[in-house]
Chains A and B, each alone.
Chain A
């Protein structure tokens, strides 16, 4: 019974993605090809990485409203410094990850509401991005462009990358010892602290991981779009929150699933492409994303209700 329930949690995101994919193929059979899949999931990799970044924060019971601005900033750094002076660029990105870790430590030590601190940080990241790249432009480093457009055999790059990312994060968060302790912080921070763990450092680690995944998301995005601007990824803030929840995560209690989060991100990315096949007017693209979100969450409610009754 317990096993069934835990399997249900991941089953629902999987089923929603499969249904959506099936519907897409039904509408547009030509999408069922290497090239078609690549097109469908074109922007899925950066969204998946951003969703994982958000998941790290939600894992420790906080929420990050600055993620979109942060990913935009990383994109700007990648398209300027990382291309022109790779070493300096790398250094900047490293500092950004550390800044995220420091943000986590400060939030915990001063007991600040994360939602407001990250709100303020979104202005900071956005301002720096504007400073670096006042108007859209910059160039993606060639190696990054090559990496993102690589054509592996059998499965397109986006799908292969998503599977790889999901597997690695699953190992890190669900299987490893430190990942378990991090989830423990979300579940019951007090008892983790009482057992002798330095909770401040753990919080910093969770935020640092979020920063790292945010950096990867920004780089992947530039690799795909080849240029950047200061507002390129602002909508990732809300998309990433939606992705985590779609993937079976919850806002409190450290209940998250990396595999689910990646699937949630793929679902959101696919939802956008799906609508263009529906021959619905493009006006409804955003709205359909919202509708799909509501639908999946309703389904989840029904599942958990039934489980509670059983």
Chain B
């Protein structure tokens, strides 16, 4: 069955689709049609509406207005129309084996011998996408590595599952794969589209987008701002279309060439920091930076006792998992770390607590009428400011920051950068892991991580995007 991509009816058509969450317009009228043979690269900044768009296409969210139509007349759901999604967060059942996980998404597998059928189909699916993968279909998923789990998930996405996959949506599928495996996936996407399938491919690696996409759709503020054949874009043009905030004033780092104090920290992997220094951790996401920070923090503090003056404080980036105490007010969230310093015989000195809160509300600019309001009434950026206030209020000499600017608006960022420089000038040491190169370039010294180890230490004028990228990627891979 040879299908001609050109002129085939589209698999899914969105007409002026919008999705509002309360006052937030996550998707603001998007028209898009995806036909067999299309490989769409979907790009946009954080919060541009990518995941909302994906969820509208795969039927996970109903649009607030506009329509979503699936091609084969009669196909009511995205699933029936052969649309599958592979999400960024892992969605396998860890207690089941690889083959059993296929059973979950393949409702048609029935009968006495379904196990054998599942094993065969799963092995085939893995072999097709990732030849030489070495994953046993009988292995429980929780014994696999993260990369292997991601491979299984992608393979299930492309597996026939009783029908045929017609459109596969891949949301950052390569984030935990190494370059060789990622190459296999990209090759498979090209093959899949050539044989009449369609793919929506989301990635922050523009190189990958250019490798596979036939068409690139640029989202900004919930709208499609550009939609052209991939060949018509240049990298710079694409970045400009996304509205990349150009690094404004190039904070001359030379200004900060003041002398640092004695070494206050040294970790087994070779990370070290001096008093008053801002030390950056960089490299690709998930290469061991967060783990290194957690080890340093847990090593310096105890689960059993808290001294009056904490030796180290932590600013979380993953607010829900690591930072916010969701039932509490802004006040209580901000002061939890400083309490041991202001307690009198175990009792909280509430006047001093309120005083500290008022001071930091002013200094860091938390926008609220009343610090007794629940923390969750604040926007993400303001919640993050509260977490900064929590850490900075406790006058610990070392501040550990785990990608703390996620989902923070530009204005807030500038405020916080200034505050960090102030505090560092006052002698505090900062360990700052960031996924954004622009932030890392604010540091005095940068350690670049690759595969859980430090691959480079950059100082002064060497801290540039190119040098960091060089150290982040394994250069020998180019030959593969």
Contacts and interface: CB of A to CB of B under 8 A. Distances in A.
Is A–B contact present in the complex under a CB 8 A cutoff? yes
Nearest to A253: B95
Interface string A181-199: 1011011101110111100
Interface string A164-203: 0000000000010100110110111011101111000000
B110 A192 contact: no
Contact of A188 (B92, B107, B143): B92
A183 B93 CA distance: 9
Nearest to A250: B95
Majority-rule SS of A interface residues:
helix
Contact of B95 (A181, A183, A191, A196): A183
A2 interface: yes
A2 B142 CA distance: 10
A84 B21 CA distance: 60
A192 B93 contact: yes
Given A187-B95, A191-B91, A253-B95, A2 B100 contact: no
A5 interface: yes
Given A195-B105, A197-B104, A177 B93 contact: no
B94 interface: yes
A255 interface: yes
Interface string B16-44: 00000000000000000000000000000
Residue among A5, A177, A186, A255 facing the most chain B CB atoms (10 A cut-off):
A177
Contacts of B107: 195-197
Contact of B91 (A175, A180, A188, A253): A188
A192 B107 CA distance: 10
Contacts of B143: 2, 5
Contact of A253 (B94, B109, B114, B139): B94
B103 A2 contact: no
A180 B140 CA distance: 12
A254 interface: yes
A255 B91 CA distance: 17
A183 B107 CA distance: 15
A42 B140 CA distance: 37
Nearest to A255: B95
Interface in B36-93: 60, 77, 79, 91-93
What's the interface size class on A, roughly? 20 to 34
Contacts, number: 62
Majority-rule SS of B interface residues:
loop
Interface in B93-115: 93-96, 100-101, 103-105, 107, 109-110, 114-115
A6 interface: yes
A115 B282 CA distance: 45
A254 B100 CA distance: 13
B140 A191 contact: no
A180 B100 contact: yes
A216 B300 CA distance: 55
Contacts of A196: 77, 79, 107
Contacts of B103: 177, 180-181, 184
Interface residues of B, number: 23
A255 B94 CA distance: 9
B175 interface: no
A84 B96 CA distance: 46
Interface string B126-144: 0000000000100110010
B92 to A, nearest CB: 7
Contacts of B77: 196
Nearest to B104: A184
A175 to B, nearest CB: 7
A194 B84 CA distance: 10
A56 B143 CA distance: 24
Given A2-B139, A6-B140, A177-B109, A254 B104 contact: no
B353 to A, nearest CB: 33
Contacts of B94: 187-188, 253
Contacts of B92: 187-188, 191
Contacts of A191: 91-93, 104
Contacts of A194: 60, 91
Contacts of A184: 93, 95-96, 100-101, 103-104
Given A175-B115, A180-B96, A192 B140 contact: no
Contacts of A187: 92-96
A111 to B, nearest CB: 16
Nearest to B142: A253
A197 B103 CA distance: 11
Nearest to A185: B93
A194 B114 CA distance: 21
Interface in A183-229: 183-184, 186-188, 190-192, 194-197
Interface of B: 60, 77, 79, 91-96, 100-101, 103-105, 107, 109-110, 114-115, 136, 139-140, 143
Given A184-B95, A188-B94, 11 more contacts: A2-B136, A5-B143, A6-B140, A175-B115, A183-B100, A184-B96, A187-B92, A187-B93, A191-B93, A197-B104, A255-B95
The 3 closest A-B pairs by CB, nearest first: A187-B93, A191-B91, A187-B95
